[in-house]
Amino acid sequence: MRRLHRSVRTLSLLALIGIAPVWATNGMNMEGYGPIASGMGGASLAYENGTAALMNNPATLALIAPGQRRLDLAFGRLGPEVFANVSTPLGVLKAKSHGDSYVMPAIGFITKGERITYGAGIFAQGGMGTEFSRTSWLSDPSQGANTALAQGLHNRSEVSVGRFLVPVAYDVNENLRIGVTGDLVWAGLDLQLAMSQAQFVDLATTQNGGSVGGSLAQVFGALYEPFGGTGIRQLHHAYFDFSDDSSMTGEAKGTGFGAKIGAVYSITPELQVGATYHTKTAISDLESDDATMEIAVNVDTGLLQTGVPSGQYADLAIPVSGKITIVDFQWPATMGIGLAYQATPRLFVAADVRQIQWSGVMEDFSMVFDAAGSAENGGFASQSLEATLFQHWDDQNVISLGAAFEATQDLIVRAGINQASNPVPDTYLNALFPAIVESHVSLGATYGVGNGNSINLSLVRGLEGKGTNPGNGLTVPAVTSTHAQWNLQVMYSHWL
């Protein structure tokens, strides 16, 4: 009983400190949850794969024997390799994301009575992001025209989603198990996003990439001379900045709920079929009161100093502080079906097919910036800006295939592949939000070290995905993004 209490205390501690962001490669989802499933290409819906079943198919939790209890402690290291390249008259400019190493903990505990299995766990769901330095080509949207830019702008994104899950699984009979989870979901977002004049003007006029509105946009429009206003001759950049620089949380935060339901059925002693459905989340809007929108402009100095235009212009950065709200950020519903087959006493194979319904949650990315009423914000005080970036993601189909071979009494080795469609249309691909990996290969192993203890490992290579946003052919250039990734997972398992 003391062991159980220690497990619950550990779960509670991890829930308080959060889960590190995960750079995922089935869109924003992981290609596999837990090293057992990851080593088999992510296939997991029809066989026992530890407490990672909380993220896969909760019905498979019931496949352990009555009276057994299992504790899993996991650690992962993710190594994304992301580049953004743009073609110019002087050649191709390349930018490498320096967000290339991230860690993630996870923990799960289950116990089974005669027919009911229950427990708890904390797992990272997924995310995405990049980090481009102040010297990259993204750092100056004005391309040298802004004389007031003392150093380049840091461009960074970090989306992270985690879950605290409570499962219940039930043996209906000797062949059929069902399971559900109730999930507490939290999401975080850091964003440092620089937009050029051409990109921002598109939001207000042609709206090919999104839209912008609100009273702050109206105030700016009244000053912006290309729109017939007076005072601002050129917009060098618009820069959204909210970031807490933490590897565990995002500056803009929200919480909510989700759920999963699943079943697994033994057709024969060797063949099992499993199915699951994960609901779309209900997460509150992500919010932060510590956000800045910087507007860098070529502005009439007389208008700034006296309120009367002088005809003399200078470059100036105008920081506007306020609150940011990310409107209706949700995680998609997922459905899947899988087979698992004990082909020989030593060879085991599994296959899953999933559909991740990104189209229901990634139609657009909407932000509302509410400027504070402070005097420092000048004419922008208490004004609001509504900005939307179109996404139009497609639903994603994922196929996972894997095999496991019992090499010795203590050693199981695994291999797998994971193939997914790319949900991100090239037209709306953003260098800060790559989610374009389609193909994965994986290896894994489990080694028993005695007394109910084992070590599980997996190594997944996300093969390079490539996409090009064509721009508009004139003022917005084409940008090509590439994304590959290593994913190493280690898990200690103990049968209590």
Transcribe 352-419 into DSSP letters. Answer: EEEEE-GGGT-SEEEEEEEE---GGGGGGTT-EEEEEEE--PPPEEEEEEEEEEE-SSSEEEEEEEEE
* Banded model confidence at residue 304, pLDDT cuts 50, 70, 90: confident
Task: List, for residues 35-83, the tens digit of each pLDDT value.
Answer: 999 999 999 999 999 999 999 999 999 999 999 999 999 999 989 999 9
Residue 186's pLDDT band (cuts 50, 70, 90) = very high
Say yes or no to pLDDT of 412 above 50.
yes
Residue 9 has what pLDDT?
A: 43
Does the pTM exceed 0.95?
Answer: no
Residue 89: predicted pLDDT:
82
**Concatenated DSSP letters for 75-100?**
EEEEEEEEEEEEEETTEEEEEE-S--
What distance in Å separates the CA atoms of residue 446 and residue 48, rounded to the nearest whole number?
14
260 and 279 in contact (C-beta within 8 Å)? yes
Structure tokens that stand for 247 in this block: 């590897």
Please count the other Cβ atoms lying within 10 Å of the Cβ belonging to residue 484: 19
Share of the chain above pLDDT 90, in %: 86
Give the other-Cβ count within 10 Å of 363's Cβ: 14
| pLDDT the model gives residue 103 | 83
Question: 204-223: per-residue pLDDT in tens?
Answer: 999 999 999 999 999 999 99
CA-wise closest residue to 270 among 401, 177, 352, 175? 175
Buried b / exposed e over 226-246, threshold 16 CB at 10 Å, is eeeeebbebbbbbbbbbbbee
Q: Where are the domains of the chain?
A: 2-495
Alpha carbons 134 and 122: distance in angstroms, whole number: 35
Beta partners for residue 339, in sequence order: 273, 351
pLDDT at 154: 96
CA–CA separation, 108 vs 143, rounded Å? 50
454: its two tokens = 């084992």
- Measured CA to CA, the distance from residue 58 to residue 321 in angstroms comes to 45
Reported as half-sphere exposure (CB side, CA atoms, 13 A), residue 259 has a value of: 5
Widest CA span in the chain: 87
Q: Percent of the chain at pLDDT above 70?
A: 95
Instruction: Output the pLDDT for position 24.
Output: 66
Q: Residue 142 and residue 124: Cα distance in Å, rounded?
A: 38
Residues constituting the chain: 496
Alpha carbons 112 and 65: distance in angstroms, whole number = 7
- Give the mean model confidence (pLDDT) for residues 326-345: 98
Those residues with Cβ within 8 angstroms of residue 426's Cβ, 6 or more apart along the chain or in another chain = 467, 468, 469, 470
The CA-based dihedral angle spanning residues 357, 267, 493, 120, taken in that order and rounded to the nearest 10 degrees: 50
The pLDDT of residue 300: 95
Q: What is the 3-state secondary structure (H, E, C) of 45-81?
A: CCCCCHHHHHCCCHHHHHHCCCCCEEEEEEEEEEEEE
Q: Which CATH architecture has domain 2-495?
A: Beta Barrel (2.40)
β-sheet bridge partners, residue 186: 162, 255
- How far apart CA 211 and CA 383 sit, in angstroms, is 17
Q: What is the pLDDT of residue 23?
A: 56
User: In this predicted structure, what is the pLDDT of residue 147?
Assistant: 95
Is there a contact between 129 and 21 (Cβ–Cβ < 8 Å)? yes
Q: Summarize pLDDT for 268-283 with one digit per residue, the tens.
A: 999 999 999 999 999 9
| Tokens 């057994």, located at residue | 68
How deeply is 187 buried, as exposed, middle or buried, from its count of CB atoms within 10 A (0-12, 13-18, 19+)?
buried
Residue 458 has what DSSP assignment? E
Q: What is the pLDDT of residue 306?
A: 84
Give the pLDDT of residue 12: 39
Three-state secondary-structure class, residue 169: strand
> Which position has the token pair 């009439």?
300
pLDDT band at 127 (very low <50, low <70, confident <90, very high): confident
Q: What is the amino acid identity at position 492?
A: Y
Helix (H, G, I), strand (E, B) or coil at 435: coil
